[in-house]
Structure formats: C-alpha cells, structure tokens
Amino acid sequence: MSYISTELTKAGFIAIGSACADIDGQRDEAMLSFYNAVVVDGDVSYDAWVDGTDCWKAGYAEAKGCKPDDNKVSVALTSFTNALKLTYDIVKPAKPTKGGQAKADQRSKKAEELEAIKAKPMEDLVAEVAMLTASPTLANIKKAGLIQKAVEDKRKEAMQDRMDGIKALQKEAKDLIGNCLDEHKLNGVIAILNDYDFEIAGM
C-alpha cells in the first residue's frame, strides 16, 4: 500500500500544523498524528512527508497569520521535525528512484506472502518444511527457507505474547502483594514462589 494524497489527508496535516502554532497545543499528540500519517507499511513515505510538511507549514502559517514561506514557519518546522527524530527516530527519506520503488514493491510483496504463510497452523508449516527439504530442489529449498522464516517469526511472536502476559501478571501480583496485610497469605505467596511442596507438607 502506498501513500495517497487526498483533501482529507492534507486537511489532517494542516490541522497538525495549526495545533503546533497554538501555545497551548498538544505537541505530543501532533507528533504522534504526523508519525501515523507518514509511516506507510512500516516505512516513512517520501510523498507523505513532502505532502505533510507542506501542509503543516500552511496550517502553522494560517494560525500565526503569516505566509508559509515566512522564516519563523521554517524555524518552527525544523523544531518539529527535530522533535520527531528524537521521539520516533524518523527523518525525511530520500526521494525514491524507479529501482528503489521496484525493490520496495518487492519487499512489500514478500511481506504479504510471509504473512499469508504465518496464518497457517505451526504444525502444518513444520511438516511442509520437512517435506520440501526431503526433496531438495532449488525451488523447494527456496520455498522451505521462506516457510522456515515464518515458523521462526511465529515462535518469536508467541514468546513475545507469553512474556507480555507474564509482565502483566507480575504487575497484578505486585499490586496485590503491596495491598495485602495478611501475613498468612503473604507467607503462602513466598512459599509458592520458593517452590514449597504443599503436598509433602500435608497442606
């Protein structure tokens, strides 16, 4: 998916610039909105950035009652883009060439293909890799490599989901312990975390 410039997207960028001109404006919210608007398929879109900054200047200038080419507008935009780099680590990308666009389209196609493979059950993917590597033709090895990457990605995502769940439980347990004033319950928690065998103890 590529960036499509519309009156709606332009109006959004103008609103962001206008918000930044307000001394009481929500700069953090404005940066987040700009970030979400210029990042397309995980990368900063050159067209979105150019469109966005031009409209940002128009919105800022209108709110300040000056022209978009006024020096103070350029200074404000530089401050805004510097803040974007510090907060979201994004900068204006290089203008894409035909070759670069072709590579980007190819990466996007591969990413879509990988996501389609990852949608399959893990056991089916593992079995498919085994079947393909059992007949190691060049085509089979290439296909097996892509499927194996999908398997590894699914494992990483599953582990990340598990760790996120553990962190949530840790926070919940910590909050509960912090509010508990019952020594018996607290001793029980400590015993459980120390692998105390309640069956052997007859408890």
| H helix runs in the chain, sequence order | 7-21, 27-38, 46-64, 71-88, 98-118, 122-134, 138-179, 183-193
pLDDT recorded at residue 126: 94
User: From first to last of its 203 residues, what are the pLDDT tens digits of the chain?
Assistant: 578 888 989 999 999 999 998 876 678 889 999 999 999 888 899 999 999 999 999 999 999 999 999 999 999 999 999 999 999 999 999 887 776 667 767 777 888 888 899 999 999 999 999 999 999 899 999 999 999 999 999 999 999 999 999 999 999 999 999 999 999 999 888 888 888 665 654 54
Contact 60, 73 (CB under 8 A): yes
Query: Residue 10's closest CA among 49, 44, 55?
Result: 55
pLDDT recorded at residue 134: 92
pLDDT of 168-191, one tens digit each? Answer: 999 999 999 999 999 999 988 888
pLDDT recorded at residue 198: 56
pLDDT recorded at residue 86: 93
pLDDT recorded at residue 25: 62
pLDDT recorded at residue 191: 87
Instruction: Output the DSSP codes for 4-23.
Output: ---HHHHHHHHHHHHHHHST
pLDDT recorded at residue 95: 85
pLDDT recorded at residue 110: 83
Tokens, residue 15? 């609103």
